[in-house]
A and B are shown apart, each in its own frame.
Chain A
């Protein structure tokens, strides 16, 4: 094929009418979603498999994507949840010893559109200046007014419960790196601390790290009630990351409220926002969110800086939580809440499980396990 690739042409139309032209390196059709940019230079496989991107079209700021293909070990979920994927230049000759498939094939198998060839830095600047916007990717239509209408009529993320679309439907045990169906109630495990994970769109690496920390990991669908959670006799409960507006999830907040104090609770990302609400706090939408793997976070206890992996468009309004929790981490770039602790509970806005990103904060899982052991 000619190196001046003449793939199917593709358009990206943002809700403010900005149009970017490029071509589709994978898939065809149309995709609607909130357009966000991610500044990670590595980890596109983890990003495309991260359920938290449900409802979003992800644009990578690093221009070359696809370099290492896709492998079997770095999946963060079984299914691709993002709506579309935008890069500056797709790499059609990947090279890596663990590679089993190209990114193009992987996206196409999942029916996703991958767009390339546009000025992704201009796109990023547009999003930074105007804030996250809805957008539509199309390889089939060149009719910009009608695409714009579609975008403007599409629902945004605010007020939307996307968790239901990505959570598991049946409980499972995470066993030796893979899910294994279980039926409730599960009997008390004699040895290892048992963590019940409420799957709001959980990334597999959370489960992997819990397991490697010697935990028995039971994953429940996001709709599980407090009672159902407690019926699993958890030594600890983890509210996972997930997509969409945290304010649209009253039932999960309710479940959290019901389990608080019954076992140590750990909230990650969306889980942090759930916990904040369970303690009476509120969340707000950020202008363009934090999506990347270089976010500096200050540990308020040690004073040390951790470089963290982040992926969130909403933040906890710290003051709204009041005295029920105390802040533990703060973002050094914009001062937003990155973590808190309350009686029997801890949470972080960022991703201690990384994948992708630095492993600086992985010790939090060990802290959680220690908390559980203390309570036992």
Chain B
């Protein structure tokens, strides 16, 4: 069947900000879909609030709306654009839920928009557990015993019937929020209550636990001629009970015979047909009893999912692209397989390698939360590795994680005292380091059977680990020999791990290998196990006989990617890498991408001329560079990961293009940077270092409190704190000296109530252009990644803007920047302080690019290739007529116990962008995009630290003028009343009931303003913030945030909400800026 010609314009809904359970895999799938649809000649309208996505690049879709993904916003866009159809299955759960809401409310019918891929009844049948269960019963497939509950009484009744352990799953939530395993009544009460609250429809499923069963996933595709193929089978290393996004997974399935696999395959196909997914990809999860083989269906997703992205990267089969083509009417046998060219997409990929995925967690950022994996997702990223054996792929995956582990061999925290007890508990309770505890347990003599009993990890996997450990032991106990070296490399051992076993450095091992000619070969991921010629150069390394790379004679440049997503290093850096690749291709230079993150656009096989899916470690990267011999290597786009390799690469003679690693080091090294600052006559906050408590106290005394303190040699603002008094400093020092023993503690004067400024600039070595100056909403001291910011700034005087520009240019010239650079400044009392200079791509590059309509990363790449900014036509700062706001999105609801207060340590996982004519509306949009409701009436609860009382009065007055009731804790209320602002006193939780949290629960509070000072906050403050978080009430924990929210509330109430595509913002001189910024300026700090 050919493509449909009755459709002209298709609307795609993206997945919004990066959050836990919904990350950049949906940019990957959405980008593929946009490209596929445009390739077919359709006009594509896109909505996504996430500026760091490739799909929202203005040249991707025809019309790109960076607007909040809410039914209201999408309706506005539909009314404006009148698309013929909507493709809801490629934007994750957010896209799907939004489409469902639009279908249910009749918007789609009203505007005659057809839903492609999956209709409303199909989505309901797949997503509604009860309907799904009935469907499974009709086709004779078993599901775990379960029941649905809308209240606690139902929960108890059903639980009685099923028996413990019981799984609670909240209906209509993301990534298993509000889900958990209850082993007893008490846990049942706790988890079920949370689940009922988390569910959009106040419903939980109470389910028989298949804990310990083997877990599998099949990725399935169907076309409208009812052809169904399985793209990939995935087996979870972790048994049932751990969310599949939290599990180590392996493709293809390893421990099923063909008979069992075919039974699962038949079931998956039957499910596709019964649910009625018309076209596209779906994912079906199964559990298999380890002793009887009994198979049950766990769930299905009628859309492209995280696993689809993994399956696409694992097989080379582009699921999202094909899904888009199927949606417009093609059948599988009409779509060519890009990789083989001669065969069609209607087949099932055959792998001749093993793929291992390991999630990346950041529990260290949320110390209040126990490192315990459940059916609710907590990981923020993942890495994938390909090897010819499981052992090789596992060891590659471990070093790809970038957690300082280069094999199974390194020591674990706290394994010494009470070793056996600790090991047992670490085996029984799944956790982020369980793989390593398993290794430790086996090493300490526990048998595979014992470990199996405790973990339910299939013995096949345990034996694989055992074999690696036996190899380790043999290596450690033998005299190093070439033969052993060869064998070890074949099994996936890194040079670093071998060095540790043989008492040598990584470099000694590498040199030895070079002398012996032991180097990896590169094999192709080709979807067909070499049965057909493959044309797409998608490679992985292994130690075998034949290599399949064909280095070209063209000019070529390698881009080193950022590895797995983590807090602080995510999609923004991948965006830059992808742009580098696009720019290389525009310049006719061959692009070589190196990365290990399966969720990204950078690891799509058609993003670059060559893709190496490899760990981003010095060893693995050098191998590729030695084989390909590129003319240049780009390290400044992938975040900290490639930068950490820069010195090693340079020492190995690799031609790094752009800003030199020496210049990067000059900027990052505190002492060397201070020299630059004094040379250029710039200002830095007063600072010092200390090695012990006494030294720190003396330094702080000299500098003056508050001080910003942090251990050196830690990343991402880890353990950074603002300290207001000597007592807190003492306790900080005690902890910090433990974290980073032997390293100095850095002490900076903390500029209170200073305005923080972020600048992204680009330089060709001669000319420097400031690309964007961003004003932070939150004051200095909040990590820049967690702070909202505005472009262009709204409260900065023109003279100050000039100083910022001038200093930026001086710094760029001094450092010899070629490419991108980011500077953080603080403004206090009309003084400009340089806080930090990073001569590399920053997190804000995509936001600035979207805000000003200039593709900075592409320009930077071309500059690195030798072009001048003059030649590229970018010599002037673009000051847009519209206002863009970037807001951070936080994962607090995933981490029970975590406080939502912001500080110098970054905690956000993603960002959204609000764009409009006024600051207020742009900020309001950013809040909606971040998932909050903007209230227009109701009550605002205010409770602020004494330090902020003066500042809050204006805010309260403005809100009252807008018609909000002001509720406040006694102290704040008294202060406000004293200033003539009517405020009603509300009890703190400790003051008896009804208290503020009761009001939040009852829906009587629409906005929460609650500030604290310092690290510790009272239990009362914590309860308030936690209440706001749980009930998704818009909140702020800073004074500046309160001012911005007030401005937003005003705009939201008084202005029209218009949705315009980026293409129009860039083209048109928009309506004049509406400067109603009095409240934002406030009384202190702002210049």
Contact = CB atoms under 8 A, between A and B. Distances in A.
Contact of B225 (A3, A295, A303, A359): A303
Contacts of A42: 253, 256-258, 261-262
B332 interface: yes
B290 A63 contact: no
| Chain A interface, >50% SS class | loop
A88 B388 contact: yes
Contact of B257 (A64, A74, A91, A128): A74
Interface stretch (B58-66, B338-346, B720-728, B835-843): B338-346
B740 interface: no
A98 B257 contact: yes
B226 A358 contact: no
A9 to B, nearest CB: 13
B389 A93 contact: no
Given A40-B350, A125-B546, A2 B530 contact: no
Contact of B546 (A89, A119, A128, A354): A119
Report, nearest first, the 5 A-B pairs whose CB atoms are least far apart: A43-B258, A93-B463, A356-B258, A122-B546, A61-B529
Interface in B636-673: none
Contact of A93 (B265, B350, B459, B530): B459
B956 to A, nearest CB: 66
A63 B388 contact: yes
Contacts of B254: 64, 67
Interface stretch (B351-359, B794-802, B874-882, B1034-1042): B351-359
Interface string A109-133: 0000000001111101100100000
Contacts of A89: 388-389
A20 B468 CA distance: 25
A67 B349 CA distance: 20
Contact of B258 (A295, A332, A357): A357
Contacts of B532: 128, 333
A359 B262 contact: yes
B471 A4 contact: yes
B681 interface: no
Interface in A31-88: 37, 39-43, 45-46, 61-64, 67-68, 71, 73-74, 88
B262 A41 contact: no
B259 interface: yes
A296 interface: yes
A64 B390 contact: yes
A93 to B, nearest CB: 4
Interface string B464-502: 101110110010000000001001100100000000000
Contact of B460 (A37, A67, A74, A293): A67
A96 interface: yes
Interface in B527-556: 528-533, 544-546, 548
Nearest to B487: A4
B333 A294 contact: no
Contacts of A68: 255-257
B1084 interface: no
A307 interface: yes
A292 interface: yes
21 contacts: A3-B468, A40-B258, A43-B258, A62-B529, A64-B254, A67-B254, A71-B257, A73-B259, A74-B257, A95-B458, A98-B257, A119-B544, A119-B545, A121-B388, A121-B544, A124-B531, A296-B347, A304-B226, A332-B343, A354-B262, A359-B262
B523 interface: yes
B389 A63 contact: yes
A93 B225 contact: no
A4 B468 CA distance: 10
Among A119, A293, A354, which residue has the most Cβ atoms of chain B within 10 A? Answer: A119
A97 B291 contact: yes
Nearest to B1: A303
Contact of B350 (A2, A61, A95, A122): A61
B531 A292 contact: yes
A294 B350 contact: yes
Contacts of A359: 262, 265-266
Interface size bucket, A side?
35 or more
Given A124-B529, A293-B258, A332-B344, 10 more contacts: A4-B487, A37-B529, A40-B258, A61-B531, A64-B254, A91-B460, A95-B255, A121-B529, A333-B342, A356-B262
Given A4-B484, A68-B256, A120-B352, A98 B293 contact: yes
Given A42-B261, A307-B347, A332-B346, A128 B531 contact: yes
Interface string B446-465: 00000000000011100110
A73 B293 CA distance: 14
Given A45-B257, A63-B388, A307-B348, A333 B343 contact: yes
A295 B388 CA distance: 23
Contacts of B487: 4
Nearest to A70: B257
A356 B261 CA distance: 10
A120 B847 CA distance: 48
B265 A358 contact: yes
B1018 interface: no
Contact of A88 (B230, B389, B474, B546): B389
A124 B470 CA distance: 31
Contact of B353 (A63, A97, A354): A63
Nearest to A303: B225
A355 interface: yes
A12 to B, nearest CB: 12
B257 A3 contact: no
Interface string B805-847: 0000000000000000000000000000000000000000000
A179 interface: no
A282 interface: no
Nearest to B257: A68
Contacts of A62: 252, 350-352, 529
B369 interface: no
A324 B530 CA distance: 37
B530 A95 contact: no
B159 interface: no
Contacts of A40: 258, 350
Contacts of A97: 290-293
Contacts of B229: 305, 307
Given A120-B352, A333-B342, A304 B293 contact: no
A298 interface: yes
Given A67-B254, A93-B460, A97-B292, A39 B350 contact: yes
Contacts of B503: none
B227 interface: yes
B352 A121 contact: yes
A41 B350 contact: yes
A125 B546 CA distance: 10
A94 interface: yes
Contact of A96 (B255, B474, B484, B531): B255
Nearest to B254: A67
B256 A4 contact: no
Contact of B467 (A3, A124, A128): A3
B226 to A, nearest CB: 6
